[in-house]
Amino acid sequence: MKQSSFTEADTEALFDDRERDKRFRSFWDPEGSLHWGYFENLADARASDFVPACKRWDEYMLEQSGITAQSRVLEVACGNGNAAIWLAQQTGCEVVGVDLSSNYIENARGKASNFPSLRVSFHKESATNLPFENGAFTHAWSQGALYHIHELEKALAEVHRVLGEGGIFLFDDLVTPVEEVSETARKYVYERQRVEPTFSPEVYAEKLRSLGFTVLQLKDLSEHLKKSYELVSELARERYQDLSFAFEKTQEAIAARELGWCFYLCEKVKSSKVSDLLSGKR
């Protein structure tokens, strides 16, 4: 993964743009989520199925997570706070959300104020320098956001550090299956979002293992990503033809394997297992 030509300041400015937030809420999700859908039937999915499919993906991740009322969860790149609040509502767990955007953190705190009984808090922080003690969390959670972190390996190492032994890290993220992307994909997919192409699914898994995670599940969701962009292109077409066109180009990039979407369920390896590996035991 080459050094990004974009910076944290670029990402912060992108998500602090309130007009952009308002624009996406008007057709993507009025609650401010920018996730992708997990569809029951890809062939028959319609625009009205998009938001329910996004919620279905939330439910799938929660089913895999093992989060309970006793869990303390870190949400990396928490956005407007929807998932954190939903997790706390569903399980009674504590959720600490971090995001680089002041706008998002302000929105999340405002939303959380409507649910004073929930154990949720939100902090403006960089994922590459988390202000938490080693082993402070039982779980780390992220949805469709890590590719925006320009020093991604550093952020993944920080997640590993703040998880306790045996802690669960589950996330979905964009991937770049091919080594080189076309200029069209670079323009309409990567530069539009101020990011560089990221890891292939397999390299991503190897990075996680090298940091001390066991990858329990790797799920390729690229066909669901393609369907998501087909539907949001339709939803945006009447008011935002520029975005609709960019989403059409995104579909082409997915078909060409210049973009993909994967889910990873990981466990932080316990110290004894790490020692065994280092000593050559199996």
The residue among 257, 265, 254, 251 whose CA lies nearest residue 170 is: 265
Residue 66 has pLDDT above 50, yes or no: yes
Q: How many structural domains comprise the chain?
A: 1
Nearest to 70 by CA among 138, 121, 120: 138
Residue at 256 is within a domain:
no
CA separation for the pair 139, 73 (Å, rounded): 5
Could you tell me if residue 16 is inside a domain? yes
Q: Is residue 169 part of a domain?
A: yes
Q: How many alpha carbons lie under 13 Å from residue 56 in its C-beta half-sphere? A: 13
pLDDT band at 4 (very low <50, low <70, confident <90, very high): low
Q: What is the mean pLDDT of residues 216-245?
A: 98
Average pLDDT over residues 113-135: 98
Q: Give yes or no for a contact between 182 and 258, defined as CB atoms under 8 angstroms apart.
A: yes
Contact 4, 23 (CB under 8 A): no
Q: What is this structure's pTM?
A: 0.93
**Residue 118 structural domain:** 8-29+42-176+200-222+261-277
Question: Over the stretch 135-178, which tens digit does the pLDDT of each residue have?
Answer: 999 999 999 999 999 999 999 999 999 999 999 999 999 999 99
213 in a domain, yes or no?
A: yes
- What CATH number should be reported for the domain holding residue 48? 3.40.50.150
Q: Is 37 inside a domain boundary?
A: no
pLDDT in tens, 179-215: 999 999 999 999 999 999 999 999 999 999 999 999 9
Evaluate if residue 108 carries a pLDDT over 50: yes
Residue 228 lies in a domain: no
